[in-house]
Structure 1
Amino acid sequence: MGKIVGAFAMSHQLGSPAGVEEQSERVFQGMREIGRRIRALDPDVLVIITSDHLSNFSLTTPAPFAVGTAAAFHPLGDMGLPRDPVPGAPGFAEGLLAFAQERGVAIDRADPIQPDHGVMIPLGIVDPERRFPAVPLYVNTVFYPEPRPADCRRLGELVRDYVTQSPDGARVVLLAGGGLSHWVGTPQEGAVNAPWDRAFLADMLAGDLDALAARDNATILDVAGNGGLEVNAWIVLAAAVPGARGECLFYEAMPTWATGMAGVEMRLG
């Protein structure tokens, strides 16, 4: 039987430290701490629950959820990020697809893909040496209709069941990427809703799945921005580790980065 041995989440944005040096350093140190903790767990598979930014999907293929199944991924290289290949875990990914199909949950196969910063910023921080086979698990936040928080809860429960029922005994770390509040390509770009961020983090850290899944996308869009929909990846993570309580490793409202920046670990019993 497999086991989820770690569950973490972090924003997948980076920016210049100029003018926000102290905030930037707290964010960088928090991200690095997440990386240290994940490397110490030495997982067999690292599942990165995140969003794509119009890099690999289109209106003709607007999958609500998708999983990368390749044996290796070649990053897009946006934001100047490294393009050295990332090892995949095709056996794990294909098993998840089959498991989802048996249970009536729609997850598409994403192959080929070139992961953009939604995958590569978290991965580059936690596994710069490309030690761990990675599986990108995409949550659509760009194409309407986006999966609802309740749908994301169901996906997280599916991931939990798949890992725990898998006969390969894999030790799996989950890493959600994205959020918190931010607006992309809109007149509000640069705004951060810190009170909303803190309220979301409070529910996340309390492991309050009912409160997390009761949110709706229309409200998130209104008060936390189109980029705020990325918190749905965090809801997938929380649902995969029910009962876990979280530790906030950093939170900074950073208008110069146009994002509420946060990172957490969900403590597993």
Structure 2
Amino acid sequence: MGRIVGAFAMSHQLGAPDGVEDQAERVFQGMREIGRRIRALDPTLILIVTSDHLNNFTLTAPAPFAVGTAEEFVPLGDMGLPRDPIPGAGDFASGLRRFAAEQGIDIAEAAPLAPDHGVMIPLGIVDPDRRIPAAPLYVNTVFYPDPSPADCRRMGETIAAYVAALADDVRVVLLAGGGLSHWVGMPQEGTVVEPWDQAFLADMAAGDIDALAARDNANILDIAGNGGLEVNAWIVVAAAVPGARGETIFYEAMPSWATGMAGMELRLPDAAIS
């Protein structure tokens, strides 16, 4: 059987360090630490669970979930990020679509796909040499229908079952990108709701899947912003590794970056990564 050998999550935002040098350095070093931990696991591939920012999906095709199935992706290059190609994991991604369909879950094919910063900030730090194949799984946070936290729990459980059905030499790292509280293009932009962020991190750290899945998109949107909906990617990853407990590697409330910045590892039992 295949194995999920690591599960991580991080915000997918970076900003200028001007005036927040100490916080920016702690965030960057925390992201780099996540990268070191992931590379040490020697994964076969990374399944990066994230969101798009109106760059690859439209109102004519508002899939709740979508996955990139190409064997190579050329990044969009937004935010000045490099456009060097990244290796894909097409067979894994296509197999996930088929497996999910058998469970009654539709995952659209994201093609063509030019990953934006939602993929490339986490991957650029985790795999700077672009050596590890990656499958981007998108959780829609922009258009209706948007998957609920309960839907995201089911997706995570489906991912776990799919990986377990793969060959023994498949070693998957899960990496969620996005969050925490923030507003994008809204009057509240620049607001960070630290108490909400800390409560969400506490549920993640406790591995409380029931509490995570019981959240409501309307409530998240109201309290934590339209960008706060990106925590649904974290819920997908948490649901794929039941029993894992989280370690917060960094958290900084950064209004100048308009985001509650966080990074976490969900620590798996030793037997799961042997």
Task: State yes or no: 1:216 paired with 2:219.
Answer: no
In structure 2, the residue matched to 1:197 is 197
Counterpart mapping for 1:32-181 below 5 A = 32-167=32-167, 169-181=169-181
Distance 1:200 1:111 in 2: 33
AA aligned to 1:234 is: W
Query: What secondary structure sits across from 1:210 in the alignment?
Result: helix
CA distances 1:9-56 after superposition (whole Å, capped 9, x unpaired): 000000001000111111011000000001111100101000000010
The percentage of counterpart residues that share the same residue type is: 77
Gaps of 5+ in 1: none
AA aligned to 1:220 is: I
The two structures have a TM-score, normalised by structure 1, of 0.99
Distance 1:255 1:6 in 2: 30
Task: State yes or no: 1:27 paired with 2:52.
Answer: no
Question: What number of residue pairs does the alignment pair up?
Answer: 269
In structure 2, the residue matched to 1:266 is 266
Gaps of 5+ in 2: 270-274
Distance 1:131 1:167 in 2: 21
Query: What secondary structure sits across from 1:197 in the alignment?
Result: helix
AA aligned to 2:101 is: Q
Distance 2:52 2:232 in 1: 13
User: What's the C-alpha RMSD, in Å, of the aligned pairs?
Assistant: 0.6
CA distances 1:205-248 after superposition (whole Å, capped 9, x unpaired): 10000000000000000000000000000000000000000100
Q: CA deviation at 1:168?
A: 5.6
In structure 1, the residue matched to 2:2 is 2
CA distances 1:114-154 after superposition (whole Å, capped 9, x unpaired): 00000000000000101100000000000022100000000
Query: What secondary structure sits across from 1:58 in the alignment?
Result: coil
AA aligned to 1:116 is: D
The 8 Å contact of residues 32 and 125 in structure 2, kept in 1 or not, is answered as yes
AA aligned to 1:26 is: R
Distance 2:115 2:168 in 1: 26
The two structures have a TM-score, normalised by structure 2, of 0.97
The 8 Å contact of residues 3 and 168 in structure 2, kept in 1 or not, is answered as no
Structure 1 stretches of 4+ with a deviation exceeding 2 A read none
Distance 1:175 1:186 in 2: 27
Distance 1:111 1:58 in 2: 12
Greater shift, 160-169 or 54-63, is seen at 160-169
Distance 1:101 1:59 in 2: 23
Distance 2:27 2:53 in 1: 22
AA aligned to 1:93 is: A
Distance 1:168 1:58 in 2: 38
